[in-house]
């Protein structure tokens, strides 16, 4: 089977982390910013571990300074996703990097990204929705401001709220105010957990922050009672196997728990996280899952349906994408 022609739905993608290195190099040259140290001799992003990755990520992001930069970035990212067969994507957007959490500035950045998304929908047939994400290692006070940006712009396009960054910084419960604020504004919730911290962090994301999806969440596998509970409650895991393997959460694809979680009834989905950083794409993730676990078209169909059901978009958008899945070649 060929995974190339399968239509794909992606739920976990950081917009800055999806920036093609050539795009960031171009912006740096235009603005005369020297970030040559973040690339290796092949022009790829270079880092040693997750914490160094966060530093390189923020250095690359320093070249993105205006709504126009984010418009161009969004367009470039969606072109890459569409080329990999993605028909619907949800991207994490950070008011921290878009106007320093000022609501007025954030509105301008958001408008620019929506403009790019509309153009990509017309030209490349890919639909995008946004999820505002606060950054855990920036602390709970900044997360409150981020949540206010999200709440003020919640709607059909900006549909969710989440948290990313260094999972080992502080406690998830420190961010309750931000998550309550987002939920009261009608935003749907997801949190990075169970990647660098164990199953207890997944429990906390569900019980304390009331998340219906978990970013990664794969380390739930270390506690089978939790795995069963995730399955019963229909909590969805945004699994990014390539990211986990490159960052060393698991030593190789064979050791990755995605198939065990799926076999035990957990709703798993597949995403790329920060594709150029992890030398991946949705097409490659599908290919590796096929090669490693023998996933066939039936399994990929099930994954894509689960992803679309778990998408934070409105019903009308969901049925439109559903029709696209049915129409596939």
Positions that interact with Zn ion (CB under 5 A): 273
Looking up tokens 């912006």 gives 27
The three-state secondary structure class of 262 is: helix
User: What minimum distance in Å lies between the beta carbon of 69 and Zn ion?
Assistant: 21
Residue 28 vs 89, nearer CB to Zn ion: 89
In contact, 304 and 5? CB cutoff 8 Å? no
User: What minimum distance in Å lies between the beta carbon of 192 and Zn ion?
Assistant: 6
In contact, 24 and 35? CB cutoff 8 Å? yes
User: What minimum distance in Å lies between the beta carbon of 259 and Zn ion?
Assistant: 21
Residue 204 vs 274, nearer CB to Zn ion: 274
Instruction: List, in sequence order, every beta strand (DSSP E) within the chain.
Output: 8-14, 86-93, 127-135, 158-164, 188-193, 213-216, 236-239, 267-270
How far apart CA 211 and CA 183 sit, in angstroms, is 10
How far apart CA 280 and CA 293 sit, in angstroms, is 18
Q: Which of 10, 195, 204, 238 is catalytic?
A: 195
User: What minimum distance in Å lies between the beta carbon of 267 and Zn ion?
Assistant: 18
User: What minimum distance in Å lies between the beta carbon of 243 and Zn ion?
Assistant: 7
Residue 14 vs 203, nearer CB to Zn ion: 14
Closest residue to Zn ion, judged by C-beta, is 273
Structure tokens at 189: 């919730």
How far apart CA 150 and CA 257 sit, in angstroms, is 33
Centre a 10 Å sphere on the Cβ of residue 1 and count the other Cβ atoms it contains.
11
| Helix and strand totals (H; E) in the chain | 13, 8
How far apart CA 307 and CA 322 sit, in angstroms, is 11
Residue 16 vs 273, nearer CB to Zn ion: 273
Residue 232 burial (C-beta neighbours within 10 Å; 0-12, 13-18, 19+): exposed
Residue 7 vs 17, nearer CB to Zn ion: 17
Residue 273 vs 283, nearer CB to Zn ion: 273
Kindly calculate the radius of gyration of the chain based on its CA atoms and give it in whole angstroms.
18
Looking up tokens 């910013």 gives 33
Q: How far is CA 81 from the centre of its chain?
A: 12
How far apart CA 185 and CA 23 sit, in angstroms, is 34
Q: How far is CA 319 from the centre of its chain?
A: 22
Write the DSSP assignment of 232-245 as a string of letters. Answer: HHTPEEEE-HHHHH
User: What minimum distance in Å lies between the beta carbon of 4 and Zn ion?
Assistant: 25
User: What minimum distance in Å lies between the beta carbon of 215 and Zn ion?
Assistant: 5
Residue 121 a catalytic site member = no
Residue 28 vs 249, nearer CB to Zn ion: 249
How far apart CA 121 and CA 157 sit, in angstroms, is 13
Active site amino acids: 195
């Amino acid at each position: 089977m060929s995974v190339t022609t399968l239509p794909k739905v992606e739920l976990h993608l950081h917009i800055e982390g999806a920036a093609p290195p050539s795009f960031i190099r171009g912006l740096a040259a235009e603005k005369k910013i020297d970030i040559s140290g973040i690339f290796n001799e092949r022009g790829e992003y270079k880092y040693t571990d997750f914490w160094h990755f966060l530093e390189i990520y923020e250095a690359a992001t320093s070249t993105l300074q205006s709504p126009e930069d984010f418009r161009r970035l969004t367009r470039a990212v969606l072109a890459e996703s569409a080329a990999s067969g993605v028909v619907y994507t949800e991207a994490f957007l950070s008011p921290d990097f878009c106007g320093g959490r000022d609501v007025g500035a954030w509105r301008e950045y958001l408008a620019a990204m929506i403009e790019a998304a509309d153009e990509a929908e017309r030209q490349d047939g890919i639909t995008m929705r946004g999820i505002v994400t606060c950054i855990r290692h920036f602390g709970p006070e900044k997360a409150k401001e981020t949540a206010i940006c999200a709440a003020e712009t919640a709607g059909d396009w900006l549909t969710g709220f989440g948290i990313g960054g260094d999972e080992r910084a502080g406690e998830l419960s420190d961010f309750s105010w931000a998550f309550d604020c987002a939920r009261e504004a009608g935003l749907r919730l997801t949190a990075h957990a169970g990647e660098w911290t164990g199953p207890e962090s997944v429990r906390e994301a569900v019980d304390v922050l009331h998340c219906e999806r978990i970013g990664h969440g794969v380390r739930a596998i270390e506690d089978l009672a939790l795995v069963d509970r995730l399955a019963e409650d229909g909590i969805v895991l945004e699994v990014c196997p390539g990211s986990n393997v490159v960052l060393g959460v698991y030593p190789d694809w064979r050791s990755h728990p995605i198939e065990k979680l799926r076999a035990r009834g957990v709703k798993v989905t597949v995403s790329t996280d920060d594709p150029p950083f992890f030398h991946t794409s949705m097409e490659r993730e599908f290919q590796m899952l096929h090669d490693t676990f023998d996933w066939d078209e039936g399994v990929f169909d099930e994954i894509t349906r689960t992803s679309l059901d778990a998408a934070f978009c409105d019903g009308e958008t969901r049925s439109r994408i559903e029709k696209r899945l049915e129409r596939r070649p």
